[in-house]
Amino acid sequence: YRPQIVLRPSNSFPSDTSSKAVTCLSASLSIISPLMAEFVSVFVTLFVFNHLDTELAVMHTASLNRSSILALTHAVCFAVFASAFKTVHLSPAVTLTHLLTGSTSQLFCLLIVPTQFLAGFLAVIANVNLRSASSLPPPPSLKHDLSIPWTNAAYQLIISQMIGSFLICSSHVSSFGVRREDDNHNGFILSRFRISALLNPAVPLFLATAIASFLSLIQSSVPCCPLQAFSLCAYRFVDNFADHSFTSHHIYWIGPIVGSLLACAICKFLLSPKYFMDRN
């Protein structure tokens, strides 16, 4: 039920000194790791609770319903496709996590990201054509009262997306892995194109995506996946090169990327060495 972690054959006769050092390091890591995990978990849980408590106080029911349904829909798609196709990432931030933890090969990551951009762009084109009035799609926007400055709202969105992306990428690290049979395959091409697959139920991924997209949707019009914001901007830019949609587009990318880096750093370097040291 747990991911089958691929073990590299370690060198069989280590010198006594290095072996003792490794044991000592391993021992201190097995104490520090759970404490670090506890710290991160409690901090994020209470931060999200306090943050939502403040935000929900000023939201209307209609807006709340809409954000909830869109977030659940996004999470359902993530979970259903991960369960059906096993290898999908669905966000450049997730691909970054798989690249840095080494679970998916670099060549594959370089191919997956353009595929994501292309699919996102075509989805916006399809939507515009399906809609009755063939108007331009609205650009991604922040939801902010006029009482608070724009930079403050952007800052809130980045923090929210960072936490959401951290949750999604942590779920990916703990649920995805390289299948044992794939690893034994000794073809040159296949070793170059290693890709991690979902080995566990997708329930934690569903829950993490739901909360991440909800956090993003109560601050803005886009979910916790920069592809949506990019596709809308790209469509508007292609339609009219004078369109200013890409101005301040970076605020939709900082949060997901920093969250992904944090998930790699914490899950790879700080967590229990028993489960993670062999993955390097």
Residues in region 126-185 near its own copies by CB under 8 A: 126-127, 130-132, 137, 147-149, 152, 155-156, 159, 167, 170-171, 173-175, 181-182
User: Helices (H), strands (E): how many in the chain?
Assistant: 11, 2
Should residue 201 be labelled a site residue for its own copies when binding is judged by CB under 8 A?
yes
**Least distance between its own copies and beta carbon 280 (Å):** 19
Encoding tokens for residue 141? 């926007």
Should residue 64 be labelled a site residue for its own copies when binding is judged by CB under 8 A?
yes
Which of 188, 175, 146 lies closest to 78, judged by CA? 175
| Pair 71, 223: CB distance under 8 Å | yes
Which of 212, 223, 84, 63 lies closest to 145, judged by CA? 63
Should residue 7 be labelled a site residue for its own copies when binding is judged by CB under 8 A?
no
Round to whole Å and give the CA distance between 105 and 5. 16
| Pair 280, 102: CB distance under 8 Å | yes
Round to whole Å and give the CA distance between 147 and 131. 34
Nearest to its own copies of 17, 242 (CB atom)? 17
Length of the chain measured in residues: 280
The phi, psi pair for 142, rounded to 5°, reads: -85, 145
Binding residues for its own copies restricted to 94-123, rule: CB under 8 A? 108, 111-112, 115-116, 118-120, 122-123
**5, 87, 143, 268: which one contacts its own copies (CB under 8 A)?**
87
Should residue 41 be labelled a site residue for its own copies when binding is judged by CB under 8 A?
yes
Should residue 44 be labelled a site residue for its own copies when binding is judged by CB under 8 A?
yes
Nearest to its own copies of 127, 240 (CB atom)? 127
Any idea what DSSP says for residue 129? H
**124, 154, 251, 258: which one contacts its own copies (CB under 8 A)?**
124
Binding residues for its own copies restricted to 223-262, rule: CB under 8 A? 223, 227-228, 231
**Least distance between its own copies and beta carbon 18 (Å):** 17
Should residue 35 be labelled a site residue for its own copies when binding is judged by CB under 8 A?
yes
Is the Cα dihedral 145, 227, 77, 182 positive or negative? negative
The span of 12-20, 53-61, 244-252, 253-261 binding its own copies (CB under 8 A) equals 53-61
Which of 175, 171, 208, 206 lies closest to 3, judged by CA? 175
**Least distance between its own copies and beta carbon 159 (Å):** 6
The span of 13-21, 42-50, 242-250, 251-259 binding its own copies (CB under 8 A) equals 42-50
